[in-house]
Structure 1
Amino acid sequence: MPHVIVKLWPGKSEQQKQQLSDEITKAVTNILGYGKGSVSVGIEIVQPSAWVRDVYHPDIRDKWDTLYQRPGYDPSYL
C-alpha cells in the first residue's frame, strides 16, 4: 500500500500536479506490481520561506540514509 507524498513550492498548475500524480501512480504499479487502487499520492505545497525548516531538516537532512535521490542544492542558499 504505497503512499507517496510530494512536497513542492507553489506555482504548479492543477494539471501539472495531476499529471505528476498519474505518472507516480503508473510507476509504482508497474515497478512494484501493486494495483492502482493500492496507491495514493499526496501533494503538499510548502512556501519557500518554510522549506528548510519544514522539509529539508526533517525529511531530507534527518533521513539522509533513506534517500534514493538526494538533492543537489545547498539549503543555506534558500
Structure 2
Amino acid sequence: MPHVVVKLWPGKTSQQKQQLADAIASDVMSIMHCGEESVSVGFEEVPAKDWTEKVYRPEIKANWAQLYKKPGY
C-alpha cells in the first residue's frame, strides 16, 4: 500500500516513466509516511483514440466527485 497506476498515451520513453515513477514514489512515501517497500507504481498506455471510452468515461467522469485533481477538459 499504496499502488499507483498512471494511464497515459503511448510515446513516453522508459526513462521518462522511470523518472515519473521515482517522483511519485518519493512523494507518496513522504506524504503517506510509508517505506519504499510499500509503494509500487505502474503505467498503462492507452491510445488516444481509446482514451474517452477506456479512461475518461469509466474512471474520470464516473468518479468525478472522488477526484482530488480534475482535468481541464
- TM-score band by shorter chain is over 0.9
Cα displacement (A) at 1:59 = 0.6
Sequence identity (%): 55
Greater RCO structure (CA 8 Å; 6+ sep): 2
Give the alignment's TM-score, normalised by structure 2. Answer: 0.98
Q: How many residues align?
A: 73
Q: Helix, strand or coil: the match of 2:59?
A: helix
Give the alignment's TM-score, normalised by structure 1. Answer: 0.92
Equivalent residue number for residue 23 of structure 1:
23
Partner Cα separation in structure 2 for residue 41 and residue 59 of structure 1: 18
1:38-77 equivalence runs, <5 A = 38-73=38-73
Q: Helix, strand or coil: the match of 2:56?
A: helix
Q: Deviations 1:39-68 (Å, cap 9, x if unpaired)? A: 011100000000000000011000001100
Where does structure 2 lack aligned partners over 5 or more consecutive residues? none
- Could you list the structure 1 runs, at least 4 aligned residues long, displaced by more than 2 angstroms after superposition: none
Q: CA RMSD in A?
A: 0.5
Where does structure 1 lack aligned partners over 5 or more consecutive residues? 74-78
Letter in 2 for 1:33: H
Partner Cα separation in structure 2 for residue 20 and residue 72 of structure 1: 21
